[in-house]
Amino acid sequence: MSSELLAPLDLAFWHLESAGHPMHLGALALFDSPPGGADAAGVIDLLASRAAAIPRLRMRVRDVLLPVGGAAWSTAKDFDVRRHVREVGLTGDDFTAEVTAAAGELMERPLERGLPPWEMYLLRGARDDRFAVLVKLHHALADGMRAVAIGAGIFDEIADVRRTGARRARPLPPRSWLAGPRSFADFAQGRIEELGRAVGVGASVVRASRLDPRGLPALTAAPSGTRRLGTAVLPLDDVQQVRRAMGGTANDVLLAVVAGALRRWMHGRGERLPAAGPRALVPVSRRRPGSPPGAGNKLSAYLLQLPVAEPDPWLRLASVRKAMDHNKAAGPARGAGAVALLADQLPPLAHRFGAPLAGGAARMLFDVLVTSVPLPRSALSLGGCPLREIYPMAPLARGQSLAVAMSTYGRQVHIGLVADGKALPDLDRLADAAREELDELLALVGGQGANEDASR
């Protein structure tokens, strides 16, 4: 894999970036130290050696002559893993709070574009042997599923499989812009069908766009370029208990928890609760279950009106479930939320010059990103140190002040909140509100069970 054209959506993410709006994904992983403590130098060496063994992390972006405006992934001949893996020493007494603050500052910094676009940081506490690892990957390099496949290579379990020579999926061949003679008719027919779908999606986007996108003041404040991180942990068993009582999916419950948390947080701020908002963009992977991760982003999305004005938590959950059922019935290739699919229909030159304009228009379509990132179900470790918590982090679109990402690991749902630091200085309160919302849903489930028992 020495050279590979960036897929259209990857190219869009590459050009959407600005100094105040870095387009990298992230994950903050917290580890327990083994007996006797962790050796910081050993952990850094381990991270460096394992990252260097991942071929995708040696790739950088370079411009190409054809197609005009395009770019390609190519292997960095002067690749030095030590330019990407660094250590940050912490000095305070509250390890978790200081790790979160430090990670927020590191997430502010755009990746150096002349290098392979990723970084890893070892965050080491001063008072004990606990440590954390922050991973940053440019969105052009990976979507959520691909990022997990890449980042998982640092863990003992995945590295051991790679070292024993387990069969790997073959890399995809470079994207071709020309069809072979025998497949030209099928190619042309496919492009016509894709164009028809794009026209439908484009019409949906126009209909869904708001000419007066005021949204919520805190979520659409003028960007400051600063970043603040918040985290919350929800017991998966509690989420599943609510799901069993209400039906739907665990993701429906989590989306309702986000809606309820926003309501509580806005109440605490004294903000008006809009009847029609806010709108969440909920990414959906277009990768087939069980298929290899492959290169490039393969994303669509649903649009979801979060019912923050509804005072009843049970009705909020019912509203979310109904809306998501409607989205799923239409499918991820239809509707305004499928705006990412339009990227596949645009030439590279359009992405180069049009991406900044498109990024500025994002607030006309949605107010907050809410995404779920799947993780391996097995227990993970680094150098024998068990992974205790892992928080995914999504990039902020231009015009948005909050992104919510969720992952399940070790029977816990870990929620990573990325916010503009000046627009949401009280992000910790929003994290607390998520736990309070799930507790109230659980109480309602218990009350429902008691009522059923009394009626028998």
pLDDT in tens, 49-73: 999 999 999 999 998 888 888 899 9
Reference 389, options 26, 29, 27; nearest CA is 29
The arithmetic mean of pLDDT across residues 270-279, rounded, is 83
Phi and psi torsions of 398, nearest 5° = -65, 130
Q: Please check the confidence at residue 45 and state whether its pLDDT lies above 80.
A: yes
Within 57-151, strands assigned E span 59-63, 71-75, 85-89, 118-124, 131-138
Q: Please check the confidence at residue 306 and state whether its pLDDT lies above 90.
A: yes
The arithmetic mean of pLDDT across residues 84-111, rounded, is 91
Quickly state the pLDDT bin for 303 (edges 50, 70, 90).
confident
- The H helix count followed by the E strand count for the chain is 11, 15
Whole-prediction pTM: 0.84
Q: Virtual CA dihedral for 442, 448, 453, 456, nearest 10 degrees?
A: -160
Quickly state the pLDDT bin for 80 (edges 50, 70, 90).
very high
**Pairing, β 368-372 against β 402-409:** parallel
pLDDT of residue 34: 67
CA distance 211 to 343: 22
Task: Output the CA torsion sign for 177, 13, 299, 328.
Answer: negative
CA distance 385 to 412: 18
Flag the least confident range among 76-85, 164-173, 221-230, 315-324: 164-173
Query: Could you tell me which residue, 211 or 9, shows the higher pLDDT?
Result: 9
Query: Could you tell me which residue, 9 or 163, shows the higher pLDDT?
Result: 9
Query: Could you tell me which residue, 20 or 270, shows the higher pLDDT?
Result: 270
The arithmetic mean of pLDDT across residues 120-134, rounded, is 85
Q: Please check the confidence at residue 133 and state whether its pLDDT lies above 90.
A: yes
User: How many C-alpha atoms does 314 have within 13 Å on its Cβ side?
Assistant: 9
Q: Which token pair is 70?
A: 């395009």
Within 10-78, strands assigned E span 24-31, 59-63, 71-75
pLDDT of residue 184: 42
Q: Please check the confidence at residue 420 and state whether its pLDDT lies above 80.
A: yes
Element (H, E) at 253: helix 250-269
Q: How far is CA 356 from the centre of its chain?
A: 20
Partnered with residue 4 across adjacent β-strands are: 73
pLDDT of residue 121: 96
Q: Please check the confidence at residue 161 and state whether its pLDDT lies above 80.
A: no
Task: Output the CA torsion sign for 268, 414, 246, 328.
Answer: positive
Q: Please check the confidence at residue 24 and state whether its pLDDT lies above 50.
A: yes
Q: Please check the confidence at residue 299 and state whether its pLDDT lies above 70.
A: no
Q: Please check the confidence at residue 200 and state whether its pLDDT lies above 80.
A: no
CA distance 142 to 395: 12
Q: CA angle, corner 345, sides to 341 and 349, nearest 5?
A: 120
Flag the least confident range among 167-181, 234-248, 380-394: 167-181
The arithmetic mean of pLDDT across residues 80-94, rounded, is 90
pLDDT of residue 21: 83
